[in-house]
Amino acid sequence: MSKNLNIDFYKIVMPSLSKLSFESILDMAIQLPIRDRFQEINHSPLFLRQCLQNPQKDCWEGEIIRVRMNDLPIKANLSGDTEEFIFGDDEGIGEQTAFLYHFPTRVLLLQANQGGVSVTSFIQYFQVISTLTEQIFIDPVIQANAMQKLAKMQTVTKLDIQIAGLDKPDIFENQGHGIKKIVGLSKEYDAPIVTLTLSVGRKKQHSLSIEDAKNTIHDLLRISSQNKQDIKKIRISGSTEDHDLIYIDMLKDRMRESINIKKSRTLSHSDRIKAIREGLERREKELYTLYGD
């Protein structure tokens, strides 16, 4: 039996005034007594189960668990018999999520696990553990090929975006000027979803503001890392200095690896970590291209 373990890549951005590194937060967290590692995040108890430095890989490897206390499953067999699991008041289903933090590039590899710990809950957990008052940001890693195309773009002829969830204003707080205008348009028309196309039309030798377009893309990608369902579309078209046409779908170009692993009925921690290490090996050179000093 085998399955695919999916891994998403995120860039950790620490607050500018903070003297803490993310690896120091990991080190601090795992040294806490187990009772102090439990935090209620998004209505679920989370705790850091394992976290070890791997100096050979220049990374920290770990596992964080979400304890599912409600909507618990039942036990069933192939004959059709069912039986309730018996849990104590402080027990539930442990949903495991493996992760790896590559500190030379400050990139987090997180197992994409439905029912496990989402990237939103992951970063909120360590925000609480660290007691930092300034926000830790987490940005999706965009593949190097797409970022190189974006860097070569000298004119922007079209920007297509679609945003949902605009009736949840807290998601869009403290964003750039372009996002604020979109939120304002949503409020004016009482529209929780906005689909917007900005284009130069048939005007030749004309461009949208490259700086504004790139800033808006950056802001939307940052929102998408923690609210994937609310950012539906980010597409940009333009051309290079030599007039070569460029088209980039920023959401499709987010970095993800899928590792096929043999498994028994349960997937062990060591299997998860091994898969995530393989994901790093596949992308490490590309990560250094993007973020290497």
Residue 293's pLDDT is what?
65
Phi, psi of 234 (to 5 degrees): -140, 100
| pLDDT one-digit tens code per residue, 160-199 | 999 887 766 666 666 666 778 888 888 888 888 889 999 9
pLDDT of residue 191: 84
- How many other C-beta atoms can be found within 10 angstroms of the C-beta atom of residue 27? 14
Structurally, the chain folds into a number of domains equal to 2
Instruction: Find, among 97, 68, 94, 122, the residue nearest to 6 by Cα.
Output: 97
Q: Which domain holds residue 197?
A: 144-249
Q: Does the pLDDT at position 30 exceed 80?
A: yes
Please check whether residues 179 and 265 belong to one and the same domain. Answer: no
Based on the fold, state whether residues 259 and 212 are members of the same structural domain: no
- pLDDT at residue 110 is higher than 90: yes
Q: What is the pLDDT of residues 67-88, one digit of tens each?
A: 988 888 888 988 888 988 888 8
> 29 with 169, same domain?
no
- For residues 46 and 177, membership in a common domain is answered with no
235 and 259 fall within a common domain: no
- Decide if 157 contacts 200 (C-beta within 8 A): yes
pLDDT, position 225? 85
Model confidence pLDDT, tens digit, residues 247-267: 999 999 999 999 988 867 778
Of 26 and 229, the structure prediction assigns the larger pLDDT to: 26
Name the pLDDT band for 98 (thresholds 50, 70, 90): very high
pLDDT at 86: 84
CA atoms within 13 A on the CB side of 259: 23
The per-residue pLDDT for range 205-216, each reduced to its tens digit, is 689 999 999 999
Contacts of 268 (CB under 8 A, 6+ apart): none
**Is residue 236 within 8 Å of residue 213, measured between CB atoms?**
yes
- Residue 114: its pLDDT value, please? 84
* CA geometry: angle 19, 65, 90, nearest 5 deg: 120
Domain shared by 118 and 153, yes or no: no
The residues with which 156 forms a beta bridge, in sequence order, are 208, 238
Q: Are residues 273 and 237 in the same domain?
A: no
Measure the CA–CA gap between 9 and 254, rounded to whole angstroms: 8
- Tens of pLDDT along 214-247? 999 999 998 888 777 788 999 999 999 998 999 9
Average pLDDT over all residues of the chain: 89
Q: Does residue 76 sit in the same domain as residue 172?
A: no
Residue 57 is predicted with a pLDDT of: 83
Please check whether residues 70 and 114 belong to one and the same domain.
yes
Residues 16 and 132 both lie in one domain: yes
Is residue 109 located within the same domain as residue 244?
Answer: no
Contacts of 139 (CB under 8 A, 6+ apart): 10, 11, 13, 218, 221, 222, 225
**Separation CA 94–CA 97 (nearest Å):** 10
Q: Are residues 121 and 260 in the same domain?
A: yes
